[in-house]
Structure 1
Amino acid sequence: MAHPSIVILTGAGISAESGLGTFRDEGGLWAQHRIEDVATPEGFARDPQLVMDFYNTRRAQAVEATENAAHRALARLQADFDGDVLLVTQNVDSLHEKAGSTDVVHMHGALNSALCGACDHRWPAPLQMQVGDACPACGAPSARPDIVWFGEMPYHMDRIEAALSQADIFAAIGTSGNVYPAAGFVQLATYAGAKTVEMNLDPSMTVNLFEETRPGKASQTVPEWVESILNG
């Protein structure tokens, strides 16, 4: 296979082992809030302080988190694979980058980035963002977390869909299969003739669409899969 192409999608399950909870975890940060209040544009319009506080807490947690064996294995795959590896994540942490990955597509935004609601300028977010922070580009007091909320369009979809249309292998790691458009990536990859594999602690909503499944913790299944790719 000349210059094979791999597209990898990672979700909350890969970061859960690093201590970053998902919005399905009982007792975690998400369990204390309704999604409608902290993860929608309408929620931000109603109570911007609540939303800022929520993401300031998440940002502080993410800064303290350490990458795990799954993140490190994917960084190694990017570095050593004789072909293209596009790493797409639904996660807003920077654990892939901490592990050494250099080209990570954050389709749902990033906690370490701020966005101007007036002019769409982006800049590095401080650890504690404040309601009414001024945009360094236009000066408007319109800073918000650079997070794709429910009801908003994910980032970089053109690049992701182009890569899926040419993929030889598509892997989904730690994803629930509940959130579109990411849940539809396996179908796009299948249409392109890619081999598809799911690695998940529990089966996703789309598990039946994958050719291969590798159940278990990402810190175990992902390094094993990477070894099989690099030594296959």
Structure 2
Amino acid sequence: MKKIVILTGAGMSAESGIKTFREADGLWEGHDILEVASPVGWNKSNKLVLDFYNKRRAQLLTVSPNLAHQSLVKLEKKYSVNIITQNIDDLHERAGSSNVLHLHGELLKVRSTKNSNLIYNWTKDLNIGDVCPENSQLRPHIVWFGENVPMLDNAIEITSEADILIIIGTSMQVYPAANLINYTKSSIPIYFIDPKPSIRENYFRNLTVIPEKASIGVTNLVNQLIEP
């Protein structure tokens, strides 16, 4: 069975109503990004950081997977599928995808500030005074700017085994995620789906650019790949 690896970014979830932080009206509007997504910001005002993610978490619980999320699930009928996402939402899982790796953490999880192995599911507000069993304050389970990406080695290994690579809704400007394309085997087909593609077909070997929003581009490509 051939292996498809799918890299997804903010554009994957935009049609579900989750804003992309690099847009003018994006997720981080009103905040310097380092105030709400860095260890420095956390140390300066953990209350501000907690409030920011509480709002994001509450909003996530009001939205649903879109057609692009749902279409990707169909690939599992014919291929071995791994999704590597930069997104911190759970929409891939809710749509029914079986193998999802979150490079940048998960909004519906929290972890201990002292022991990063203590991770818990969390759907309500997280407040100062919410602690783990070791009595350490809990924080969002998010990889902030300036922090290591603990799942990166796993993502590299998965990408290196791909027979087909599909990239959806990412600017290809956020590292180290954008570098994963360089770990693919030289001969495999690569598809890049984005309404405003940041790369052209001569950017990389065997690259096909599909300048569509995720719901259209993903649906069309999936139908093409699962045709008898």
TM-score class, shorter = over 0.9
**Stretches of 4+ moved more than 3 A in 1?**
none
Residue 147 (structure 2) aligns with: 152
SS in 2 for 1:64: coil
| Contact 1:88-1:106 within 8 A present in 2 as well | yes
Q: CA-atom RMSD, angstroms? A: 1.6
* Aligned match for 1:44, one of 42, 45, 64: 42
SS in 1 for 2:166: strand
Q: Taking every aligned residue pair, what percent have the same amino acid on both sides? A: 40
Counterparts in 2 of 1:1-232, with a 5 A limit?
3-78=1-76, 80-81=77-78, 83-120=79-116, 121-136=118-133, 138-140=134-136, 142-189=137-184, 191-204=185-198, 208-209=203-204, 211-231=207-227
d(CA) in 2 for partners of 1:206 and 1:53?
39
Query: What amino acid sits opposite 1:193 in the alignment?
Result: S
TM-score, normalised by the number of residues in structure 2: 0.93
Deviations 1:170-218 (A, max 9, x none): 11100011111111111211x4432111000111257622610001110
How many Å apart are 1:117 and its aligned residue? Answer: 1.2
SS in 2 for 1:32: coil
TM-score, normalised by the number of residues in structure 1: 0.92
d(CA) in 1 for partners of 2:210 and 2:26?
27
SS in 1 for 2:83: strand
Deviations 1:30-84 (A, max 9, x none): 1111111001111111010110000000001111111110000012212x12x32
Structure 2 segments unaligned to the other structure (5+ residues):
none
Deviations 1:60-118 (A, max 9, x none): 1111111110000012212x12x321111100011111111122111110010001011
Structure 1 segments unaligned to the other structure (5+ residues):
none
CA 1:192–1:162 in structure 2 vs 1: closer, same or farther (change >3 Å)?
farther
